């Protein structure tokens, strides 16, 4: 019923993955992670058919439940995607909504000694898990990844690092040029103990 909910023509499944890659991560964040899978209209009617898949990732501070958020006068992303596939002009596709949140707000979808192995989690755990349980086309030319902001960065870097898994990407306002936006702050930050705390790291 408008504006609170829309009945999907495809269907969603909710799942959890117990990640070995994220177990014992430096931030102590959960290693059991939620996953949301969208199955397009017709998936249940054609049991022999296989489908391409797109992994959908979020920006900084994004976590899985936020896909349900809706701005005024507009459906949310999962509802709009369902409309797209239900219209029949776009080839039906499995969408995999993946959570790589950390208590610092995000992971950039990379393996990091500071946050954890989120690139490994996505590529070595989530992708095989989905391929094992759903009728995906299991070749890189049939698997894509998309995201916005930090998710756009993740959508760029993931296929670069794993072209054997991902053959297509869509980046929307993806983070980039870190050397231009972050590097100027490094010397200022490094001088903080000297300038503000009488030059001693202990006081800092």
**pLDDT band per the 50, 70, 90 thresholds, residue 189:** confident
Which pLDDT does position 1 carry in this prediction?
A: 65
Residue 203: per-residue pLDDT:
67
Tell me the per-residue pLDDT of 9-23, one tens digit each, with 9 for 90 and over. Answer: 999 999 999 999 999
Average pLDDT over residues 160-172: 97
What is the mean pLDDT of the segment spanning 97-109?
A: 95
> What pLDDT does 192 receive?
79
The percent of residues above 70 in pLDDT, for the chain, comes to 96
Superfamily of structural domain 11-173: Alpha/Beta hydrolase fold, catalytic domain (3.40.50.1820)
Look at residue 56 and tell me whether its pLDDT is greater than 70: yes
Per domain, the residue ranges of the chain are 11-173, 177-204
Identify the weakest region by mean pLDDT among 86-100, 137-151, 152-166, 181-195: 181-195
Section 37-57 average pLDDT: 97
Work out the average pLDDT over 123-127.
98
pLDDT at 147: 97
C-alpha to C-alpha distance for 180 and 52, rounded to whole angstroms: 37
What average pLDDT does the segment 34-49 reach? 97
Residue 78 has pLDDT above 90, yes or no: yes
Contacts of 152 (CB under 8 A, 6+ apart): 59, 171, 172, 173, 174, 175
SS3 assignment for 53-83: EEEEECCCCCCHHHHHCCCCCCCCHHHHHHH
């Amino acid at each position: 019923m408008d504006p609170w909910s829309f009945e999907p023509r495809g269907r969603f499944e909710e799942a959890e993955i117990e990640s070995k890659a994220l177990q014992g991560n430096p931030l102590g964040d959960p290693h059991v992670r939620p996953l949301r899978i969208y199955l397009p209209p017709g998936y249940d009617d054609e049991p022999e058919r296989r489908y391409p898949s797109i992994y959908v990732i979020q920006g900084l501070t994004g976590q899985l439940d936020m896909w349900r958020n809706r701005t005024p006068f507009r459906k949310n992303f999962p509802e709009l995607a369902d409309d797209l596939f239900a219209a029949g002009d776009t080839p039906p596709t499995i969408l995999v909504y993946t959570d790589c949140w950390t208590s610092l707000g995000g992971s950039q979808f990379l393996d990091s000694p500071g946050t954890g192995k989120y690139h490994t989690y996505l590529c070595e755990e989530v992708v095989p898990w989905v391929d094992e349980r759903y009728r995906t086309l299991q070749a890189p030319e049939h698997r894509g990844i998309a995201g916005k902001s930090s998710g756009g960065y993740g959508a760029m870097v993931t296929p670069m690092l794993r072209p054997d898994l991902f053959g297509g990407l869509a980046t929307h306002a993806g983070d980039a040029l870190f050397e231009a936006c972050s590097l100027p702050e490094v010397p200022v930050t490094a001088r903080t103990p000297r300038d503000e705390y009488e030059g001693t790291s202990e006081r800092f």
